[in-house]
Structure 1
Amino acid sequence: MTKLCLRILSIALFMLPYVAAHVYGQSGNYTFQINDQLDERIYAIDRLTFYEDESNEMELEDILSPKMAARLKINPDFNKHQFSTNKTYWVKVAIQKTPGSKKNWLLEFYDQTIDEITAYIPVGNGFKEILLGDKAPFNDRVFSHKNFHIPVENQSEGTDTYYFKIRSSQKADIRIAFRSYNRFIYYALNEYFLYGIFYGMILIISLYNGLIYLAIKEVKYLYYVFYLLSVGTFAACVDGIAFQYLWPSRPEWNQPASGLFSFLIIVFALLFSTHFLNLQRRFPSMHRCFHILLIAKTVLFTLGLTFFPVLLEIQIYDIVPFFLILFSSIYVWVKGYSVARLFVIAYGVLFVGVGLKAMVHTAIIPHSTVLYYSLHIAFLVEMLLLTLALGDRVKILKDNRDRAMLRSLRQAETNAKLKEKVNRELEQRVNERTQELAHKNQLLLEFNQQILEKDEEIKRINALLDKDIWKLKSQIRENLQARITNKRMSYADFTKIFPDSSSCLRYLEQVKWENGFSCKTCNHGKFSKSSKIFHRRCSRCGHIESATAGTVFHGIRLPIEKAFYLAYTVISEHDKLTLEELSKLLDLRVNAISSFRVKVKLQLEMKGIHQPEWEDIVLERSHELN
C-alpha cells in the first residue's frame, strides 16, 4: 500500500506542471520549486512564461513595467515551428528557493544553436546581466559545457525571477532544464562518454577506409572517408562539440560550418552511392539525376552562404537525396546486384533518421531525447552497415573471383585434355602428311629434272629465236627507214607508221639510245627506270632525261605525231604544200606550223646538210648522242 501511495505521489508531482499550465491558463505564471526529491525538470516553451517582442527594441525595464505583466504568459499552443527569426523572445522563470536544500541548482538551455541569450539574474534589488549563445566566445561561459547554464542562488527564502532575452537567426528550440549539479554532472559525463564513442568510431572507421583506399586505390573508399568526416563534423556542429573544441574563439563560424558540412554530407553521399552502386552502368537515368541534385544543392548552399542564411539549416527537402539513394540501391539490388543488399538497409535506416530529425527540427513532430538524437543513431547504424557493405562487397567480389578461377581451372583441364587429344591427332596427321610429302617430293625431283632438260631445250630454241628476231628487226627497221625516206609518202600512210604519241616517243627512244645511254650531267652510262614513261634516270647522279631531250621535238606545244609529219614534209615532196593546206590537213594554226618548220630548217642549216635524211631532222646533236 505504501509503494502504491508513493507511485501516485510521483505521478502527481510529474503531472503538476501540466495541470498548473491549464490552471493558470493564458495569464498564469509557473514557478520552479527547489525540491531535493526531484533532481531534474525540463520545460519546453509551451510551458514557459514568455512574450514575443515584434519591435526588437524592448529592454528589461520595459518587461518589468506593470503593463507587461499581463503580456508575459504561457501559450500551450506555441511550438518551435512558430518561432520567428524576426522577433525577440522574453522568457520569465520564477524559482521558489528552499535554503534547506542540500543540493546546488542551475538552469540549462538545451539548444546550442541559439545565437543570443541575455540572462538577467536577480542580485539584491537589481539584476546581473550575463551574455550566452553561440555568438559569444565559448570561454565566456559559466561552465565549459556545450549547453548554456545559469547557476541558481538558494541562500535565502523567497522567489527569484529570472528573465531571458533570446534572439536567433534560425529556428530555436527554447527548452529550459532545471536540475541539480549532481544530476547535471551525471548527465554530462554520460553524454560526453557517448559522444566520445560516437566520434571515436567515426575516426576509426575513417582511418580504416582511408588505409583501404591507399592499398587498392578505389575512389569509392575516399568518398566514403570524406562522407564520414563530414557526418562527424556536422554532428559536432549540431551538438556544440565543434564550437567547444575546434573553434571556441570563433563563434561566427558556427552557422556557416553547420551549413557547409550538411552540404558536404549530401555531396559525398551522392558521389559514394554513385560509385558503390555503379549507377553510370546500372541506372544511367538516376546517375544523371544525381548530378542535377549536386548542382541544385550547390546553388542552394551558395545562396544560403551569401544571401539567405536560413537555407543553411536542415530543411525537409534534404530528405530527397537520401530517398533517391535508397530508391537507387533498391532498384539495382532488385536488378541482381547483390552487393547492394546491406547498402539498402544502411540507407533505409539513415533515411528514417534524417526524416525524423528534419521533422523534429521543423516541429512537425514533438521533441524527445530519442528523436533529438535520431540522426546520430541513424548515422552510427548506417556507418557500421556501410562498412559491412564495403566488406561484403569485397567478399562477394572475392567469391565471384574464386568461382571464376575455379571455372578457369576446370576449363584449363578440359583444354589440356583437348589439347592432348588434338596433339595426338596432329602428330598422326603430320606423320601421314610427311610420308605424303616425301612421295610428292620425289615426284617433284623427277619433274624438276625434266624441267631442267626442257629448259635447256628452250634456251637453245630462244637463242635461235633471238637470232631470227634480230634479223627480223633489222629488216623491219630497214623497211621502216625505207618507208620514211620515201619522199612521196602521204599523211595517211605516215599516220600508219606513227599513229599516236606513244609510237613517236618509242621511236625516239630507240633512235636516241640504240647505242647506249649516256647521262648529260655526268656522262654515266648506267640508268634505271623513271616513274614517267619514256624517261631514264641516271644511276649515279639521279638526273632524269626524257626521250625528246636533245631532239627537235623537245619542248614543243604541238602534238608530237603531227610534229613528226611536219618534220617529214621538210624533206619530202610535200614541202610544196602551202601552210593553209597543212593547217587544214593537220587542224593546226598556221603560225604554229610555220614556227616549227622554221625550227627544223634552222637545225638543218646549222648542221650544213643540204640533202637531209630523217634522222638528221630527228636528232639535233646526233654527233654528241652517238
Structure 2
Amino acid sequence: MIFLSLLISLFISDPLKVTQDQNEIILGLKELQSYEDKSNQLTFADVKSPSFAANFTQKPNYKPEDYNRNSTYWVKLNFTLPEYEGNYILEFYDQTIDSINVFIRQNRGVYRKYNLGDSYPFSSKSIKHKNFDLTLDANSEYEAYIQIRNSQYADIRVAIKRIDRFIQYSLNEYFLYGIFYGMILIISLYNLLIYLAIREIKYIYYTFYILSVGFYALCIDGIAYQYLWPEQPNWNQLAYGVALYSIILWSSIFSMRFLNTKIRAPKLHKLIVAVLTARSLLFVYSLFFDPSLFRFRNLEIILLSIIFVSSIFVFRRGYKPARFFVVAYGILFLGFLMRALINWSVIPFTTFSYYSLHIGFILEMLFLTFALSDRVRILKANRDRALKRIVTQHEQNVKVINKINKGLERKVEERTKDLHEKNIELQVSNEQINKQSREIAEINSMLDLDNWKLKNNIKKIQRERLLNKNLNFSEFSEIFTTKDQCLEVLASFKWKNGYECQRCDNTKYQLNEENLARRCTKCGYNESPTAYTIFKGIKFDLPKAFFIVYAHLNEDRYTLDELAQIMNMRRNTIWDFQRKVHDEVENNGKAYLNNLLHFGYERLTNFVEVKR
C-alpha cells in the first residue's frame, strides 16, 4: 500500500519545467494541483505525507463561485527553473488574501516556511511589493505546499516570472497607479476650488465621493497596506469595507442633491433614503459586531441601481444636466460588470479587464464633472435669457416714456400757440378783454387738469412697467389682487408649454373651472396649479404668498415683524413660508420664481389695460 502511494505521489508530482524563453507563467486553480480542507485541521505534516499525495488533483471545471470561504485550500506545486543570470519570483496576485503559508524546499533540501497575506505586518515581507512574492534561485528544482485561508473570495493564481519581467511589470503598474491616483487628487482639488468660488455644497459632497473612490482603490490594490498602514493588519481587514460604505454614502448624498430627487422624483428619493439608512445600520453592525459581513460587496449594487434609475427618470422629465450623470453611472456599471465577469471566468484575465473598474471610476468622475459644469452652463444660459428679457422690457419702457414726452411737448406747443394768438387778439380788441380773460382762465384750468392726469398716468405706467422698482404691499396688491388671479397665473405659467400628467405623461385633461385644476383623462390624477410648487398646502391668501416671494427676491428689505404687521399675519407663518422660498432659491436659483412673477405681472397688467 505504501509503495502504491509513492507511485501515485511521483506521478502527480511530475515537476513543471520552465524553459529559458518563458519569462512568465501564470497558473490558476484550474491548472494547479489542490485540495480543499473543509475541516481546517490538516497540518503541513499531514499534506506532505506520501499517503496524502493522491488527494491533490486538478479541477479543470473550477469556477470562482465554487470557492468556499469556510475552507482551507492546499496547493502543491513542483517546478524546475532553467539557468538564468538573475533570480525568479514566485508571486500571488490577490492582495486581499488573509493568510498564505508557503512551505518550499530547493533541490530536495529542507522545507522553509514563509508567511504571506494581508493579516501579517507589511514589514514581514521578503520583497516590499504590494503583491505577495518570494525570491527563487535559477537552475533549481522546487517543491512547494501552499496553504491559503481567506474570509472572502480569493483569486488563487500563482505566477512564476523572471526578475526582469517582475521589475518591468511592477514599474508599469505603479506608473499607472500614479496616473490614476493623481487624476483623483486633481479632480478633487478642482471641485474643492469650485466650491470655494461659488459655495454650492454639492461640490463638497462630490469631492468626498471622489476621495472615497481613491480610498477604496488604495485598499483593494494593496497600496494603502504598503504605504498608509503597513503595521496595522487588523485595520487592513476592515479598511476596504469602510471605504466601500464611504463611496455609497457620499455617492447617494451627492446624487440626491445634484438630481434634486426630493422635488423631481419624491418617491425614488424616499426609496434612496430608506435603502441608505438600512445600509448604514448594516455598516455599523458589521464594523462593531461582525466584520465578516463586509464580504457581501454585491449589496452595493442595490443602491447604485436605484440612483441610476432615478437619474434616467429625472433626465426623461427634462432635466438636461442629468444626461452626463446617466452616462457616468452607465460606465461605472460596465466597470463593475467586467470585474464580476473576470471573477466568474466568463472573460479572460488581461491587464485591461483587470483594471476595468479603475478605468470606470476615472471615466465616471470625468463625466460627473462634466455634469456639474453642464448644470452651471445651463443656469448661466437661463440667467442670460432672463437678463435679456429685462433689458428688452427696459427698452420698451424707455420707448413708451419718450413717446409720452413727445406727445406732451406737442400739446404744450399747441397750447402755447393758442395762448399767443389769444394775447394778440386781446391786444387788438380791448372790447373783448373780459371775455377773453374768462376763456383763457377756462383753457388754463383745462390744461392744468390734462397735465395733472397725464403726469399721474405716466407715474402709474412707470410703476406698472418698471419691474426693478421695490413695490410696497399696497402697490403690489393692486396687481396681484385676488386668489383667483394668482391661481390663474400659476396655472398659465405651469402649463404654458402644454399639460403633461405627472404620473402617466398623458397630455389630455379635463379643466376644473372652480380651482383651475387639471384632471388626467387617462389615469384620473388631479393636479392643482399649486402642486409641486412652494405654494402647495399654504393656509393663507395666495397674494400674500406672492408678496413674500417678491420681498425675498428683492433682498428681504422687510423684517419678519414688519411683514407680519403689513399683511396682518402671524410671524411664524411668514417665517415657515420664507424658509420654503429660501430652499427653492438655494436648490434651483432665483430664475424660476423671477420668471413666475414676471409672467404674472405681464398677464395681469395686460388684462387691466385691455379692460380699460
Shorter chain as denominator, the TM-score bin is: 0.5 to 0.7
Whole-angstrom distance in 2 between the partners of 1:34 and 1:244: 31
Paired residues for 1:209-224 under 5 Å: 209-224=191-206
Whole-angstrom distance in 1 between the partners of 2:449 and 2:297: 93
Is 1:107 aligned with 2:107?
no
Is 1:131 aligned with 2:141?
no
Paired residues for 1:319-334 under 5 Å: 319-334=301-316
CA deviation profile, 1:464-500 (whole Å, cap 9, x unmatched): xxxxxxxxxxxxxxxxxxxxxxxxxxxxxxxxxxxxx
In structure 2, the residue matched to 1:607 is none
Q: Which amino acid aligns with 1:370?
A: F
Q: Which amino acid aligns with 1:151?
A: T
Tell me, yes or no, if the aligned pair for 1:30 and 1:49 is still in contact at 8 Å. no
Distance apart, 1:176 and its partner CA: 0.7
> Quick one: which of 117, 129, 139 aligns to 2:100?
117
Change beyond 3 A, Cα 1:439–1:349: closer
In structure 2, the residue matched to 1:411 is 393
In structure 2, the residue matched to 1:50 is 34
Whole-angstrom distance in 1 between the partners of 2:445 and 2:318: 59
Whole-angstrom distance in 2 between the partners of 1:169 and 1:399: 54
Whole-angstrom distance in 2 between the partners of 1:32 and 1:145: 26
Distance apart, 1:438 and its partner CA: 6.6
Distance apart, 1:354 and its partner CA: 2.1
Structure label with greater radius of gyration: 1
> Quick one: which of 283, 301, 311 aligns to 2:265?
283
CA deviation profile, 1:28-70 (whole Å, cap 9, x unmatched): 4563322221111111111111111122121111111122100
Paired residues for 1:296-315 under 5 Å: 296-313=278-295, 315=297
Tell me, yes or no, if the aligned pair for 2:91 and 2:134 is still in contact at 8 Å. yes
> Quick one: which of 17, 33, 36 aligns to 2:17?
33
> Quick one: which of 352, 357, 373 aligns to 2:339?
357
Is 1:241 aligned with 2:223?
yes
Paired residues for 1:116-265 under 5 Å: 116-123=99-106, 125-156=109-140, 159-265=141-247
In structure 2, the residue matched to 1:564 is none
Paired residues for 1:13-24 under 5 Å: none
Is 1:435 aligned with 2:418?
no
Distance apart, 1:329 and its partner CA: 1.6
Distance apart, 1:71 and its partner CA: 0.1
Q: Which amino acid aligns with 2:389?
A: R
Tell me, yes or no, if the aligned pair for 1:319 and 1:354 is still in contact at 8 Å. no
Distance apart, 1:79 and its partner CA: 2.7
Tell me, yes or no, if the aligned pair for 2:256 and 2:269 is still in contact at 8 Å. yes
> Quick one: which of 44, 53, 62 aligns to 1:69?
53
Tell me, yes or no, if the aligned pair for 1:108 and 1:149 is still in contact at 8 Å. yes
Q: Which amino acid aligns with 1:116?
A: S
In structure 2, the residue matched to 1:513 is none
Tell me, yes or no, if the aligned pair for 1:316 and 1:358 is still in contact at 8 Å. no
Cα RMSD for the two superposed structures: 2.6
Q: Which amino acid aligns with 2:355?
A: Y
Whole-angstrom distance in 2 between the partners of 1:313 and 1:227: 21
In structure 1, the residue matched to 2:74 is 90
Whole-angstrom distance in 1 between the partners of 2:399 and 2:173: 69
Whole-angstrom distance in 1 between the partners of 2:410 and 2:271: 65
Structure 2: runs of 5+ lacking an equivalent: 1-7, 416-441, 451-612
Whole-angstrom distance in 1 between the partners of 2:443 and 2:285: 84
Change beyond 3 A, Cα 1:364–1:265: farther
Whole-angstrom distance in 2 between the partners of 1:255 and 1:371: 25
Q: Which SS does the other structure have where 1:126 is aligned? A: coil
Whole-angstrom distance in 1 between the partners of 2:443 and 2:374: 58
Q: Which amino acid aligns with 1:406?
A: K
Distance apart, 1:103 and its partner CA: 4.0
Whole-angstrom distance in 2 between the partners of 1:114 and 1:146: 12
Distance apart, 1:112 and its partner CA: 0.3
Tell me, yes or no, if the aligned pair for 1:107 and 1:150 is still in contact at 8 Å. yes
CA deviation profile, 1:285-341 (whole Å, cap 9, x unmatched): 111111012112112212322344343135333222222222222222222111112
Tell me, yes or no, if the aligned pair for 2:18 and 2:80 is still in contact at 8 Å. yes
Whole-angstrom distance in 1 between the partners of 2:94 and 2:344: 14
Distance apart, 1:183 and its partner CA: 0.5
Tell me, yes or no, if the aligned pair for 1:198 and 1:380 is still in contact at 8 Å. yes
Change beyond 3 A, Cα 1:439–1:117: closer
Change beyond 3 A, Cα 1:265–1:368: same
Q: Which SS does the other structure have where 2:95 is aligned? A: coil
In structure 2, the residue matched to 1:377 is 359
The TM-score with structure 1 as length reference comes to 0.62
CA deviation profile, 1:383-417 (whole Å, cap 9, x unmatched): 11111221222222222222221222112211222
Paired residues for 1:385-396 under 5 Å: 385-396=367-378
Distance apart, 1:428 and its partner CA: 9.2
Q: Which SS does the other structure have where 1:101 is aligned? A: coil
In structure 2, the residue matched to 1:348 is 330
Whole-angstrom distance in 2 between the partners of 1:30 and 1:369: 31
Tell me, yes or no, if the aligned pair for 1:117 and 1:165 is still in contact at 8 Å. yes
Change beyond 3 A, Cα 1:229–1:364: same
Tell me, yes or no, if the aligned pair for 2:84 and 2:139 is still in contact at 8 Å. no
Change beyond 3 A, Cα 1:125–1:316: same
Whole-angstrom distance in 2 between the partners of 1:261 and 1:421: 70
The TM-score with structure 2 as length reference comes to 0.63
Whole-angstrom distance in 1 between the partners of 2:23 and 2:169: 11
Change beyond 3 A, Cα 1:364–1:294: farther
In structure 1, the residue matched to 2:568 is none
Change beyond 3 A, Cα 1:369–1:412: same
Tell me, yes or no, if the aligned pair for 1:30 and 1:48 is still in contact at 8 Å. no
Q: Which amino acid aligns with 1:59?
A: T
